[in-house]
Structure 1
Amino acid sequence: MRTRLIALVLLASFSAFPAFAAPGFRQTTIAATGARPPLSISLWYPTTSTAESINLGETPAFVGLPVIRDAEPAPGPRPLILLSHGYGGNWRNLAWLAGELAAKGYVVAAPDHPGTTTFDMRSPDTIELWQRPRDLSRVIDTLLANPGLAGSVSPDRIGAIGHSLGGWTVMELAGGRFDAGAVMNDCPRVFGPVYCRTFTALGVGRDAASMAALGADLGDARIKAIVTLDLGPGRGLTSESLAAVKVPVLVLGAGENVDPETAEKASIAATNKDSFYLAEHLPPTTTQFALVPGALHFSFMQLCKPGAAALIEEEAPGESIVCRDAPGADRQAVHRDVSDRIMVFLGSALADR
């Protein structure tokens, strides 16, 4: 989503644990480190509070979810799940999933990645793509050191989920290595014009230093499970690095594709080719792969209200694609399917160690 959509946006199971009603919710900021700017993070977590809830993220276009702001966290330690949004997105995009996870006993943290979020698309952060995985590592550091924020976190039960460019981000945490030189060498043929324009905006392949930074090992050994939601650009990760990934990975792709050439202003019109690529090259014994019926690329984002597409189109022409699902599909049903798959996967991958 681009800047013209910002105004519209701003108007507004883990079997070992019991289910919680409205989760606690808190926002905080991690201080700047070196040249990296402050990092805004949103937190959902289990709470036994019975205080009045608010409808988080409710806008004229999007459905909100009940949370109890700044509630006292329930006792831990608990597994932690990191959420990484797509290019031009923000923490609201996967808030629906965060609420589901917190209700099952997980602590959930979603940063707004500087340079690639709705709220900040400025250079030089935009062209330092390798900082995205490091953002998530900073979040882990902060939550382990400050249990008062969202409750005590179990350091050996940490997972990460990413949509679109967020899926690429979490695969980097698992040890994926990105070959910017190979990507840009034959970009139009392999990826298509929409991808290539986005790569250029992200500074991919602009010089030797950036290619080296993108190709470096950005893994974090504390990550024990990964979920990708119609990721992109997965095909830029080397097959060798994917084959060496040690942690369990659940790869969920859109059941149908948006044609990149008719995707209007879709930021990084990922296709499920990237998900197929991951499934082909990740270790088969620790990888699960499925296409989600009825899902297009943006079906993994928050629920749209009736009439939302027309409202968004009026405010930001071309951006109504974020409310598009496959013909006849129901996004709420897609979310239920995705959530069920994720809960089963994480319940096994992050079982009490």
Structure 2
Amino acid sequence: MRKIILCVLCCFSSTSWATIGIAEENYHDLERQRTIETRLFYPAAMSEAESVFAANVAFYGFKAVKDAPPTGKKLPLYILVHGTSGNWKNLSWLGSYLTENGAFVVSANHPGYTTGQATPERVLRMWEQPRDVSFLIDQILSSDYANHIDKDNITVIGYSLGGYTALALAGARFDISGYQTYCHQHRDDSCKYYGNAFHGLSQPDHQMIAGDYRDERVTKAIAIAPGYVPAILPQSLERLSAKTMIVGGELDKTIPPKLQILPYITTHQKQLSYQTIKGASHFSFMQNCKPQAVKILAEEGAAFVCQEAADVDRKSIHQALLDIVSGQKLSI
């Protein structure tokens, strides 16, 4: 979103780790000619003064120690996946919480979908993002970081476009014609974004969208306000390989749950659950905004990123999501 935005189902220990370590790694996928800029958050022993990361004039960040040595064994691995025009910072508030409670967290910028690169045409060719995640899992589990990770406890948490990715990695399959049909019937914000981009999809593009991007190493998937749900092939939800939670925002105008999610899922799939967070809009799941954020973002026509309903505090939305991620609220 230009300039400033540039736009678990498991229970945690009640004791928090003292320090977050953070490292930057650039992973090169030679097969696909993609370089994935990645941040790793992990429990660390205090080795030097903390610095603030992921902050700017509009958003708060978190404190961590750069390149501190990791500590701990058998840590659950979480992969955080950003949405359209997003970046690794968008879910950093969640990543820092997970790390403080004993997790190893991976968050990356996904080429073509990230800040300054995303276009409707590129985002409709969404299949590279789940492939990125599988590639990142390969890299992490074949590195020295693997000594700290429980390879049998891997969770993907994706937001918006990243929510699609979480579902695809769990085994959901998609036929984009279903989403085209939806957009012929509805004009919510996501459909307005794509405009005429559907017409540029080739037959090979359709085949790639319909591909199988399941990664059976992923044990849990959490899809926050996920994109493309109207394109899901219903039978694929019967064969999910990961325990999967879909989270919708009650006031989301970009991906309205009552239109884009609930009509396309049912409650009888044993691996799939759904939860609505009351009062949440589409952008409620991003970082906490500083007091001056709305005014600053208004200069770019993006004040909506930090605007909540009058009686809603973003911190309360985040707490509701933390309750879901930590397994306290799992009912349909």
Aligned to 1:350: none
Aligned to 1:221: 216
Aligned to 1:323: 306
TM-score by length of structure 1 reads 0.84
- Please state if 1:243 is matched with 2:243: no
For residue 83 of structure 1, give the secondary structure of its aligned residue in structure 2: strand
Runs of 4+ in 1 over 6 A off after TM superposition: none
Unaligned runs of 5+ in 2: none
- Counterpart of 2:113 (choices 112, 116, 122) is 116
Unaligned runs of 5+ in 1: 259-268, 348-353
Confirm or deny: 8 A CA contact 1:80 1:106 kept in the other structure: yes
Paired AA for residue 106 in structure 1: A
Question: Map of 1:220-299 to 2, 5 A cutoff?
Answer: 220-258=215-253, 269-273=254-258, 274-277=260-263, 280-281=265-266, 283-299=268-284
CA distance in 2, matches of 1:201, 1:145: 42
Confirm or deny: 8 A CA contact 1:57 1:63 kept in the other structure: yes
CA distance in 1, matches of 2:57, 2:270: 45
TM-score by length of structure 2 reads 0.89
For residue 90 of structure 1, give the secondary structure of its aligned residue in structure 2: coil
Question: Map of 1:80-229 to 2, 5 A cutoff?
Answer: 80-121=77-118, 126=123, 128-148=125-145, 152-185=148-181, 187-189=183-185, 191-192=186-187, 194-199=189-194, 206-229=201-224
Aligned to 1:29: 26
- Please state if 1:302 is matched with 2:298: no
CA distance in 2, matches of 1:239, 1:207: 24
Confirm or deny: 8 A CA contact 1:129 1:202 kept in the other structure: no
How many pairs were matched up? 326
Identity of aligned residues (%): 27
CA distance in 2, matches of 1:294, 1:16: 28
For residue 326 of structure 2, give the secondary structure of its aligned residue in structure 1: helix
- Please state if 1:338 is matched with 2:321: yes
CA distance in 2, matches of 1:211, 1:343: 36
CA distance in 2, matches of 1:26, 1:202: 37
For residue 288 of structure 2, give the secondary structure of its aligned residue in structure 1: coil
- Please state if 1:77 is matched with 2:77: no
1:247 deviates by 2.1
Question: Map of 1:8-23 to 2, 5 A cutoff?
Answer: 8-9=4-5, 14-15=11-12, 18-23=15-20
1:345 deviates by 6.1
Q: Deviations over 1:175-220 (max 9, x none)?
A: 111101333255321x426433544676687111000011011110
1:294 deviates by 2.0
